[in-house]
Structure 1
Amino acid sequence: MGRYEIVTLFAGAGGLDLAARNLGVPAVGVEWDTQVCATRRAAGLVTEEGDVREFNPSDFPSANVLAGGPPCQTFTIASTGTGRRDLADVLHFIQRMKLREDVTSPLAQLKDERTGLVLEPLRWALAAVDSGYPYEAVVLVQVPAVLPVWRAMGDVLSAEGYSVAFGVLKAEEFGVPQTRRRAVLIARRRGTAALPRTTHQPYRNGSPAAPIDPPLPPCVTMGEALDRPEPFHIVSNYGTGGDPRARGRRSSAEPAFTVTGKIRRSQVLAGDGSRLERLTCAEAGQLQSFPPDYPWAGQGQAQQIGSATPPLLATHILTAALL
């Protein structure tokens, strides 16, 4: 792996930066939430506390890789969906940014300012191009509903000389013990961009795994990830498909549902149906592939965990982007 240094926007509790550290790549994360910054600093992650809109690439002159996971709340199916409803406007803003128009004022008119934050990585990437020092790679992670945004950004980056790949990855296919899906964009100045190859079989609810050549190990289960007596079941803390009444249930022999900020509301049941102790923050972090001793700090730890990019998934993404 060559000489890289990463600046991570909306760095969160450290999923992408922890993956970078595991790969031996220096990283600095920009994060505005003081509580999240407490966790990052306890974990020894280099952190610049503040709003990404108030920084520019020139503030991090040694960084030659841009990464980020913009806020997903307005795009996720569990939210009010303002980001999805404003998608046409967001795509229009991308075309204006391609022409180097300043879209700061119209972005401020969106119903939820968090929606416009999804365009900050493009602002940074184009500013770096215009400075004569383009990023060697750009890596972005978000909820699947943002894939059209990544596609449009990819077109802009392609016109600026990048090779681009994007798609939706399933976390369990990379060894993460949960069925989280994420839209990923990888752009490279050198070589051909490609998404990482899967390392584990996909989760199939009640169905046998389809034959894979070459064979892959089965996805990692909650029972394998957590130090708890088996068997146990977890009742989802939110409704499947956004329906709060359709609460699913999975056994310890399966991967977890997507870990959200409400994960500690999930019921944990023994094999006989009796209630067990709810998941601790450490256990929720393990389902995100964080180490069991990761130093979660500050308030809102469950939300920090649910908003994070799984480090194991991030490791595969960064490896594909930088090798």
Structure 2
Amino acid sequence: MTEAIHLFAGPGGLDAGGLAEGVHGQGIEKDANAVATRRAAGLSTIHADVRQHGPRDFPRATVLTAGPPCQTFTIAGAGSGRAELDRLVSAVKLMGAGDHVDPAMFSDERTALVLEPLRWALADFECSYNAIVLEQVPQALPIWEACAEVLRSEGYSVATGILRTEQYGVPQTRRRAVLVARLVGEARLPKPTHRAYRKGVPQHEGDPQLKPWVSMGEALLDRGPFTVISNYGTGGDPKNRGRRTSDEPAFTVTGKIDRLRLVDPDGRELPRLTPSEAGWLQGFPADWPWSGGDIPQQIGNACPKPLAAALIRAATQ
């Protein structure tokens, strides 16, 4: 049985994706709310800071996955991580040379967490990971590219890039920077299974070898037709509020998904998305047992299960 260790495991997206591909494992998660969801879902969980552990604590794990916190990198955040990309890339190179990197060199301690997967991968341990999967917001791609160079020097084949979640059957448009590394065989990013969403381009148009992207209406069959009105990325300006109908994929699911307004075709207000529905838009089963507090943030931070499965399949098969 293939076993994994999932760093920054959140409410279980990478775990669920791994299980779909026959990869079992443990997750390390610091947030008590996400831990509550994980335990309700029956996922093996250690409630701890990943910095307090290392590979020696999980000697049977041959797969390493991680989705470090994105708050300092995302466009919606303050941007301190984006401002320190050059310093982060330099830190990766220092780690590759065997030097210690002091997290205090960064203005926000959360920024340095993006380096933790590399610390685990480079740890002086008798068994290297056979496969590594990392995912983050697109702004973090330069860090993954720097990590790829270091991992190649350690004998890994590595692929990096930006993937679109709707191309893997997720009913939302979400872009993620990813890294796939493997010790045996050539690393490749997973091939899309679905077409890319283009505004105004019908589902049935595009590459005939790919499935149509999945709409919100197809995912939320009990809802009937509706329009989502989003304040995300508008700066609060009502004129900039985005709209998508249920015949389209959702906007990127964030921790503010509970603020989305839904209206029917006549403009009447509808009930807002339930946790189950919001999780479904992230590719989780409708009965995923969301628990603890701040559930919208848990959902927004999660790696969509179909994307996780595609990445782990590319790294291990």
| TM-score (norm: length of structure 1) | 0.95
Q: Could you tell me which of 69, 91, 94 is aligned with 1:93?
A: 91
* 1:1-323 superposed matches below 5 A: 3-103=1-101, 105=102, 107-127=103-123, 130-208=124-202, 211-212=206-207, 214-239=208-233, 243-245=235-237, 246-323=240-317
Helix, strand or coil at the partner of 1:150: helix
Give 1:244 shift: 3.9
- 1:218 Cα shift? 1.2
1:260 counterpart SS class: coil
The alpha carbon displacement at 1:24 in A equals 2.1
Partners of 1:229 and 1:97 in 2: CA distance: 50
Partners of 1:227 and 1:8 lie apart in 2 by 32
Query: What are the superposed Cα offsets for residues 94-121 of structure 1, whole Å, 9 maximum, x if unpaired?
Result: 1110111111x3x223111111000000
Q: By how many angstroms is 1:237 displaced? A: 3.6
Deviations 1:261-297 (A, max 9, x none): 0001000010001100000111000000101110000
CA distance in 1, matches of 2:277, 2:257: 10
Partners of 2:225 and 2:68 in 1: how far apart? 37
Question: Alignment partner of 1:302: what SS?
Answer: helix
Q: CA deviation at 1:207?
A: 3.2
Aligned partners of 2:216 and 2:247 also within 8 Å? yes
- The percent of aligned pairs where both chains have the same amino acid is 54
Superposed displacement of residue 162, structure 1: 0.1
Q: Secondary structure at the match of 2:110?
A: helix
Q: Quote the offset at 1:168 in angstroms.
A: 0.6
In structure 2, how many angstroms separate the alpha carbons of the residues matched to 1:320 and 1:229?
34
Partner amino acid, structure 2, of 1:118: V
Contact preservation (8 Å) 1:235, 1:247: yes
Query: Per the alignment, do residues 282 and 237 of structure 1 end up closer, same or farther by CA in structure 2, a change over 3 Å counting?
Result: farther
Instruction: State the alpha-carbon separation in 2 of the partners of residues 72 and 52 from structure 1.
Output: 15
CA drift of 1:138 comes to 0.7
Q: Which whole-Å deviations, capped at 9, do the CAs of 1:148-188 have from their partners, x for residues lacking one?
A: 00000000000000000010110000000000110110000
**C-alpha RMSD of matched pairs (Å):** 1.2
Amino acid at match of 1:125: A
Please give the secondary structure, in 1, of the residue aligned with 2:242: strand
Letter in 1 for 2:23: V
What is the number of residues matched between the two proteins?
A: 314
- Residue identity in the other structure for 1:168: I
1:47-85: per-residue Cα shift (whole Å, max 9, x none)? 011000010100001101110100011100011100000
The one-letter code sitting in structure 2 at the alignment partner of 1:111 is S
Instruction: Extract unaligned runs of 5+ from structure 2.
Output: none
* Partner amino acid, structure 1, of 2:17: A
Contact 2:195 2:206 in 1 (8 A): no
Native 8 Å contact 1:6 1:65 kept in 2 = yes
Query: What's the CA shift string for 1:239-278, capped at 9, x where partnerless?
Result: 25xx443321000000000000000100001000110000
Give the whole-Å Cα distance in 2 for the aligned partners of 1:6 and 1:137.
9
Structure-1 separation of matches of 2:189 and 2:241: 32
| Alpha-carbon distance between aligned partners in 2 of 1:47 and 1:71, rounded to the nearest angstrom | 18
Alpha-carbon offset, residue 208 of structure 1 = 4.9
CA distance in 2, matches of 1:20, 1:211: 30
Q: Any conservation in 1 of the 2:55–2:125 contact (CA below 8 Å)?
A: no
